[in-house]
């Protein structure tokens, strides 16, 4: 009986997490026929997207605060694993923001305070070499994206 209740509770938590992340993506813009409108890169256009946060996730899951959430993450049950994966997804969203000058400071703050990153890890993630394609010269290696 206990495993059945735990399994149902695990599914409820998964569903709430998926709903929260879906809500954060924003509303999809569609044409009159319901077909999604794409930008010039072929990505869906969305209205009011929001970067997911730990506090937002805690709110969506009805936790009182981050301390209670972190305690639940430490559990060895299935829910602890699910919460750790959700936090990892949020961390990856902020990690992606390090490449943009406009969002770098906020991402750095989050990763150092919430994810425990050091300044060295942040600067290494920011300085990943990339390939830039220049129309006149063909392909050249860029120094670093800042």
Strand segments, DSSP code E, in 1-146 are: 27-28, 46-47, 131-134, 138-141
**pTM exceeds cut of 0.75:** no
Q: Summarize pLDDT for 50-102 with one digit per residue, the tens.
A: 999 999 999 999 999 999 999 998 887 788 999 999 999 998 888 888 878 88
Q: Which residue has the higher pLDDT, 3 or 143?
A: 3
- Give residue 52's pLDDT: 93
Distance CA 129, CA 144 (A): 5
Using an 8 Å Cβ cutoff, are 17 and 86 in contact? Answer: yes
Phi and psi, residue 104, nearest 5°:
-60, -50
Q: Summarize pLDDT for 1-57 with one digit per residue, the tens.
A: 345 545 568 889 999 999 999 999 999 899 999 899 998 888 889 999 999 999 999
Distance CA 63, CA 146 (A): 37
Using an 8 Å Cβ cutoff, are 6 and 77 in contact? Answer: yes
Above 50 in pLDDT, residue 113? yes
User: For the chain, which residues make up each domain, given as ranges?
Assistant: 2-141
């Amino acid at each position: 009986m206990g495993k059945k209740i735990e399994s149902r509770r695990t599914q409820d938590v998964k569903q709430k997490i998926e709903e929260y992340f879906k809500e954060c993506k924003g509303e999809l813009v569609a044409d009159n026929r319901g077909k999604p409108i794409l930008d010039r890169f072929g990505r869906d256009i969305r209205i009011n997207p929001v970067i997911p946060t730990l506090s937002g996730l805690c709110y969506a899951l009805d936790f009182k605060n981050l301390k209670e959430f972190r305690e639940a993450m430490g559990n060895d049950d299935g829910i602890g694993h699910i919460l750790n994966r959700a936090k990892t997804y949020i961390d990856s969203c902020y990690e992606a923001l390090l490449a943009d000058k406009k969002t770098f400071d906020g991402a750095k703050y989050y990763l150092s305070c919430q994810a425990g990153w050091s300044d060295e890890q942040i600067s290494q993630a920011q300085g990943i070499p990339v390939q830039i394609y220049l129309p006149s010269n063909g392909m050249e290696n860029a120094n670093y994206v800042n």
